């Protein structure tokens, strides 16, 4: 954890800050190791304090050994104000993309005489260390195993929700803390919905079935999408699937240090556009993944972050044709010096499930 705290201190130095308060749960966990539901961090050049309440003092002492634990009373901001004043903090950074207007006003009231400076710190989490990548690999493995199981389980006549429930149960049974997000199971014409959360629709022969899901392990999220066909695929289904597959493979091959998210997105997007389906691919190619399911960097037409080794991203092109259906294929990958390592192991070839 010391490395992470030092990078936060470096940010403070660069911004001319005396300290930083961390309130976003993912960032609190990242910098301290504390996973309780209540508390905040105050980091200065020489001090690192974790403010929490009676319920979490013992847990915080165990999980955040690099921090001095400060038990606050009824009002955490009042304790923060007293602590910051004792440390002679005059300029204090806060998470501009997490703190609400109401929270900011409350901080202004309680931190009298301290100038509050909006900053972004989520970018400090883009580069993953060895422990983070190990957790991500386990989360990906759990999702891969769940997909293998679902191929034996799914059959015509089931509802999308039954399939989603089985995916979630299987991941939990394999060691996931929870599902990474609301599981998407979209079949038939509903597979044209990029975020078609599982419904009571009955899965039928001839349906595309798009399943987008992931596991959380030690706080880290995996993200996989596979589209299968129930029964025999039609010629058009095969054609659309092959276009998306080629776009996905090209996108994965394009992931390497020194390229921006925009450049990688264009590699995949051009394949779909040149095939005549550009208007049916309306989202970015991928996103960073870690303690959040969606984080920086972004692989999209607006993605200007240059990739570096140890970043983890998804690659997930799709084609979605209203009233017909759609296909998305997604892997989680980690950027390495020579390109990227694909963590997702599930087959990307068109799978026809015949029962």
Dihedral angle at the C-alpha atoms of 70, 71, 73, 74, nearest 10 degrees? Answer: 100
CA-nearest of 19, 16, 35, 18 to 27 is 35
CATH of the domain at 9: 3.40.350.10
Residues 65 and 23 in one domain: yes
| Residues of the domain holding 153 | 130-353
Last residue within a domain, chosen from 77, 108, 125: 125
Please tell me whether residues 102 and 164 are part of one structural domain.
no
Where is 228: in which H helix or E strand? strand 224-230
139 φ, ψ to 5°?
A: -65, -40
Q: Are residues 82 and 208 in the same domain?
A: no
Claim to verify: residue 116 and residue 224 sit in the same structural domain: no
Per-residue pLDDT of 97-138, as tens digits, reads 999 999 999 999 999 899 999 999 999 999 999 999 999 999
How much is the pLDDT for 109? 92
Whether residues 143 and 177 fall in one domain: yes
What is the per-residue pLDDT across 155-200, written as a single tens digit (0 to 9) for each?
A: 999 999 999 999 999 999 999 999 999 999 999 999 999 999 999 9
Share of the chain above pLDDT 90, in %: 98
Q: For residue 11, what are the contacts with CB-CB under 8 A and spacing of at least 6?
A: 17, 20, 93, 119, 121, 124
Q: Is 152 found in the same domain as 43?
A: no
Mapped onto helix, strand or coil, the DSSP state of residue 118 is: strand
Contact 218, 238 (CB under 8 A): no
Percent of the chain with pLDDT over 70: 100
The b/e string for 194-232 (b: 16+ C-beta within 10 A; e otherwise) is: bebbbeebebeeebbbbbbbbbbbbbbbbbbbbbbbbee
223 close to 330: Cβ distance less than 8 angstroms: yes
Same domain? For 153 and 276 the reply is yes
pTM for this prediction: 0.93
Average pLDDT over every residue of 74-90 = 93
Average pLDDT on 30-39 reads 94
119 and 197 inside one domain: no
Domain count, the chain: 2
Specify whether the CB–CB gap between 254 and 264 falls below 8 A: yes
Residues 285, 340 share a domain: yes
Looking at 78, 106, 125, the residue that finishes a domain is: 125
What's 245's domain CATH number?
A: 3.90.230.10
Domain boundary (65, 100, 125) is at 125
**pLDDT number for residue 149:** 98
Residue 1 has pLDDT above 80, yes or no: no
pLDDT on residue 74: 86
**Cβ neighbours of 189 (radius 10 Å):** 17
């Amino acid at each position: 954890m010391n490395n992470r705290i030092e990078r936060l201190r470096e940010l403070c130095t660069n911004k001319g800050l005396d300290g930083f308060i961390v309130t976003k749960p993912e960032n609190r966990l990242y910098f301290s190791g504390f996973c309780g539901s209540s508390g905040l961090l105050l980091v200065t050049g020489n001090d690192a304090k974790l403010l929490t309440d009676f319920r979490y003092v013992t847990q915080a002492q165990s999980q955040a050994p690099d921090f001095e634990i400060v038990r606050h009373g009824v009002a955490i901001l009042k304790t923060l104000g007293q602590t910051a004043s004792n440390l002679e903090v005059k300029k204090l950074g806060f998470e501009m993309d997490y703190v609400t207007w109401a929270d900011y006003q409350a901080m202004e009231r309680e931190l009298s005489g301290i100038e509050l400076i909006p900053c972004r710190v989520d970018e400090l989490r883009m580069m993953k260390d060895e422990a983070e990548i190990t957790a991500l690999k386990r989360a990906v493995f759990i999702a891969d195993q769940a997909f293998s199981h679902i191929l034996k389980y799914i059959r015509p006549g089931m509802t999308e929700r039954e399939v989603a429930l089985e995916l979630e149960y299987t991941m939990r049974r394999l060691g996931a803390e929870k599902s990474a997000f609301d599981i998407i199971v979209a079949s038939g014409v509903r597979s044209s919905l990029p975020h078609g959360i599982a419904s009571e629709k009955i899965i039928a022969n001839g349906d595309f079935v798009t399943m987008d899901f992931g596991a959380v392990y030690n706080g880290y999220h995996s993200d996989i999408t596979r589209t299968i066909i129930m029964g025999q695929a039609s010629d058009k289904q095969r054609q659309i699937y092959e276009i998306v597959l080629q776009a996905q493979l090209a996108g994965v091959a394009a992931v390497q240090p020194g390229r921006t998210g925009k450049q990688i997105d264009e590699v995949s997007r051009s394949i779909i556009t040149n095939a005549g389906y550009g208007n049916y691919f309306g989202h970015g190619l991928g996103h960073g993944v870690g303690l959040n399911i969606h984080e920086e960097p972004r692989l999209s037409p607006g993605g200007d972050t240059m990739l570096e080794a140890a970043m983890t991203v998804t690659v997930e092109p799709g084609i979605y044709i209203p009233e017909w259906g759609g296909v998305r294929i997604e892997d989680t990958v980690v950027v390495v010096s020579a390109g990227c390592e694909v963590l997702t192991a599930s087959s990307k070839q068109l799978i026809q499930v015949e029962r």
